[in-house]
Amino acid sequence: MNIIIRPEMETDHRGVEELTRAAFWNLYTPGCDEHYLVHVMRTHPDFIRSLDLVAEIDGKLAGNIMYTRSFLRSADGEQRETVTFGPVSVHPDHQRKGIGSALIRHTVALVQQQHIPAIIIYGNPSNYVSLGFVGAKRFNISTPDGSYPSAMLVLPLREELLTGRQWTFHESSVFSFDKQEAEAFDAGFPPMVRQHAPSQELFSILSRSTVQ
């Protein structure tokens, strides 16, 4: 299998939204809104265009990764720029073939060139620890309310810039989108059946669990 990774182009936009919808449909909730997130992310000030990449197999879109700016703030007012990826989308026909990992590794190498101290995400640890991610609490990184979500993960790129302080993580405001607008956007795609799935309960448990 020959995977080609390249920048997303404007002509890819609808195709990426379609594959994102297919990748996330009924995964975390009945239906999904990740394809709307992809749509609005492209015009948001925090969007990092140079880290918006697609994976192709035999000339067809198979995956996509997008990044936004985020930051850490210490109790004494120090601030560190970080980046956050997501969604990472792989079409169901090509999942479990290493495409998502290839997109992550490719973009991590690009982020390292920018001297950014860390990539911080929310995700299932079992999907990311093999790529070097660790729990955020290891670096005393909490949410603004002081909690340590089990799903908040850090890939340290410059550990010396993370150690020795207590940090709070602040993600882009693009993730706080209007759910009704997402529903309206989804109406422009072919109908799909919204269903409950075991993965949704797993997501519910993980998203509410914290590290003590």
Q: Rg of the Cα trace of the chain? A: 17
**Taking the model in full, what pTM does it have?**
0.95
pLDDT tens for 52-90 read 999 999 999 999 999 999 999 998 989 999 999 999 999
Cα–Cα distance between 154 and 138 in angstroms, integer?
9
Q: Give the model's pLDDT for residue 127.
A: 94
Q: Give the model's pLDDT for residue 115.
A: 87
Domain ranges of the chain: 3-172+181-206
User: What residue has token string 């999907």?
Assistant: 127
Cα–Cα distance between 89 and 99 in angstroms, integer?
9
Contact in structure between 123 and 142 (CB atoms under 8 Å): no
pLDDT tier at 2, thresholds 50, 70, 90:
confident
Contact in structure between 87 and 34 (CB atoms under 8 Å): yes
- Partners of 85 in beta bridges: 67
Token pair belonging to 62: 């198979």
Tell me: pLDDT of 177 over 90: yes
Tell me: pLDDT of 209 over 80: yes
Cα–Cα distance between 28 and 204 in angstroms, integer?
8
pLDDT tens for 109-156 read 999 999 899 999 999 999 999 999 999 999 999 999 999 999 999 999
Token pair belonging to 162: 């993370």
Closest CA to 123 of 42, 27, 22: 27
CATH number 3.40.630.30 given to 3-172+181-206: yes
Token pair belonging to 13: 């936009």
User: What residue has token string 């970080």?
Assistant: 82
